[in-house]
Structure 1
Amino acid sequence: MKVKICGITDVSTAQAAVKLGADAIGLVFADSKRKVSLDRAKEIVLALPSEVKKIGVFVNENSKEMERIASYVGLTHLQLHGDESAIYCESLSLPVIKAISFQGNKVLAAMQSFPADYILLDGPKGKYHGGNGTAFNWSEVQTAYLNGKKLILAGGLHVENVEEAISIMNPYMVDVSSGVETNGVKDLVKIEAFINKVKTRKVGGE
């Protein structure tokens, strides 16, 4: 099971998260309290091993500007939280993670033909696009609608509930941000506990 730590804003936290077992780092370029500058993001990316996914989070960004940012920073994936269309996504040069807030399976059904390599299921929208750290009812999700796409599960995950979430959803990756923070700052103790819970979970819950 892969783990993404999102909302990273400094090199030391990024490096520590990877050493603890994170497979992907999320860098936010949309309006957010975790927004990172391009120069800082590039610094973070250059400090990470090549095999780690460097995922840029955007909301309704101009495609040419996003491609410019991705090239400058060294991103490997684009995570889109806005109203980006299928045609828009098809035009991009990097793998696309299309994020949607789970509001029923009709939305999932519509995503079956959407040109994205990954679908990220998030909780309800908060002040900013993206989740607000609130989980949704995983049991309601009909994951069969996502056949052929890699599912990334986000929204209110933390060390106490991630094992249950995985057992129900069986995602390709779990994505956490506020669930590994203390007073709005990434907490390495919480990151380690979260990653260990995911990585040491036995198949089938055995």
Structure 2
Amino acid sequence: MTFSVSGSSKIKICGIMDDATLQGMSGLPVEYIGFMFAKSRRQLTPERAAELLAVVKQIPMASGNPPLAVGIFVNPTLEQLAETLSVVSLDVVQLHGDETPEFCRQVGERFKVDVWRALPILEDTANQPDRGTQRLDAYKGAVSTILLDTAGGGTGKTFRWDVIPSYQEAAIRNGLELFIAGGLNPGNVNELITTYHPVGVDISSGVETDGVKDSHKITAFVERVKYS
């Protein structure tokens, strides 16, 4: 199978936990994989993440390069990040808690990693998109990427996609890339891609069967994104 990836949205498969999932991604145009370090049923130790990262570097991918490694954290301290990064070489630190722009800036400067900030789409900001998009202004220069997610995270539910254009405008204004997460799956991602053309998409539970990553669903998801 070959993919035409020029101009396509980037893909991040989050919550990687085992070698089999990585082996099943062989040949797919997946740009990022995510390791969960926050409390979750998918939580990994830094040591286990390092083992998986060694595996993925041996797997042939569509681009010829292994996907970049993203570590997901919720309200970590700089010391906790230092300890994790001393064990596993992450390309991206993704922050999902109450981290301030200044903390995000410190992370990037201290550890020389790309920093992403996840922001939930709350109901009140969904009804007032201008109010919601103002949050992006504060992160200009502090992070490279904003990831919009359904409030609560890991709910398997989408947020109101009609707010995306307002956030896209704010992201462009602030020099940020915008990824979309929250309730995505092989059945609905084509609509998202063809309607809003996001820079990237992030998925975890939407490519699982009974709580385990499903290689067939991952392949189907990638096809929907890259062929849209």
What's the TM-score once normalised by structure 2's chain length?
0.82
Q: How much does 1:135 deviate?
A: 0.3
- Counterparts of 1:188 and 1:15 in 2: how far apart (Å)? 9
Matched, 1:161 2:184: no
Paired residue for 1:55, among 67, 70, 78?
A: 70
Is the 8 Å Cα contact of residues 135 and 155 (structure 1) preserved in structure 2? yes
Q: Alpha carbon RMSD of aligned pairs, Å?
A: 1.4
- Rounded to whole Å, the distance in 1 between the matches of 2:25 and 2:155 is 22
Question: Which deviates more, 148-157 or 11-20?
Answer: 11-20
- Report the residue type matching 2:204 in the other structure: S
TM-score normalised by the chain length of structure 1: 0.90
Return the alpha-carbon distance in structure 2 between the equivalents of residues 189 and 121 of structure 1: 26
SS at match of 2:206: helix
Deviations, residues 96-126 of structure 1 (Å, cap 9, x unaligned): 110011122223222123111000000120x
Listed as ranges, the gaps of 5+ residues in structure 2 are: 1-8, 58-64
Unaligned runs of 5+ in 1: 202-206
Counterpart CA distance in 2 for 1:165 and 1:86 is: 28
CA contact (8 A) 1:14 1:48 kept: yes
Name the % identity. 37
State the alpha-carbon separation in 2 of the partners of residues 90 and 198 from structure 1.
Answer: 31
Matched, 1:2 2:10: yes
**Structure 1 residue matching 2:157: 3-state secondary structure:** coil
SS of residue in 1 equivalent to 2:30: coil
Q: Aligned residue for 2:224?
A: 197
143-152 or 189-198: which moved more? Answer: 143-152
Matches within 5 A, 1:2-41: 2-41=10-49
Larger radius of gyration: 2
Q: Distance in 2 between matches of 1:35 and 1:19?
A: 26
Runs of 4 or more, structure 1, over 6 Å off, are none
Alignment coverage as a number of residue pairs? 197
User: Aligned pair in 2 of structure 1 residues 46, 97: CA closer, same or farther (>3 Å)?
Assistant: same
Q: 1:196 to 1:107 in 2, by over 3 A?
A: same
